Amino acid sequence: MDQLPDFWRTEVFHPLSVHFPIVLLLMATLFKLIALWSSKITWDHGGRLLLLLGVFGIWISIYTGDLADGIVARQLCDPTILKEHENLAYTTAWIFTISLLLEILMRYIDIIKTRMISIILVLLMLGGTGTLMYVGHLGAELVYQQAAGVNIPSADCMEFN
């Protein structure tokens, strides 16, 4: 190998797109949790906006993950971790999508806008946060244990000269 690979490879789009939705969804969960005990409506509105942006972002991450899958899977020692990462990512995306749909229903249908439904929403989001953390753990295993999508330089590092 005489030169570094191009940075804008297809498998690089996934790590570029995945970290922002992780933060958005974690913060959305935190905001909605605080909103249960706070009298300030700002926490609830902020949580709703973060959830909306996070759900949009997680589906972009799913798409870019699917793009990277075909390239990275052939280079892995244990592709079952990639499959588990993918399956759980879909589960996580659906959990937060259902949370968003429940949030939208609560916003426009006064009958279901109760404290109990708000608690159920937060519990659902906490479950999504748990799966999100495990998906992230599996992603880290893929990168740090199996070098998924990572350029490994030659022994003499000549491509950097």
Contacts of 156 (CB under 8 A, 6+ apart): none
DSSP per residue, 135-150: HHHHHHHHHHHH-TT-
Which DSSP state fits 150?
A: -
Sign of the Cα torsion 48, 53, 59, 62 reads negative
For the chain, how many residues are written? 161
Query: In 3D, which of 50, 46, 28 has the Cα closest to residue 122?
Result: 28
Query: In 3D, which of 18, 20, 17 has the Cα closest to residue 28?
Result: 20
pLDDT at 127: 98
pLDDT at 3: 60
Render pLDDT for 18-46 as a digit per residue (tens, 0 to 9). 999 999 999 999 999 999 999 899 999 99
> Residue 144 burial by CB count (10 A; 0-12/13-18/19+): exposed, middle or buried?
exposed
- For the chain, the distance separating the N- and C-terminal CA atoms, rounded to the nearest angstrom, is 12
Residue 72 CB neighbours (<10 A): 22
Average pLDDT value for the chain? 90
Calculate mean pLDDT across residues 102-125: 89
pLDDT at 1: 47
3-class secondary structure, 158: helix
Contacts of 13 (CB under 8 A, 6+ apart): 64, 67, 68
Please tell me whether the overall predicted TM-score, pTM, comes out greater than 0.85 for this model.
Answer: yes
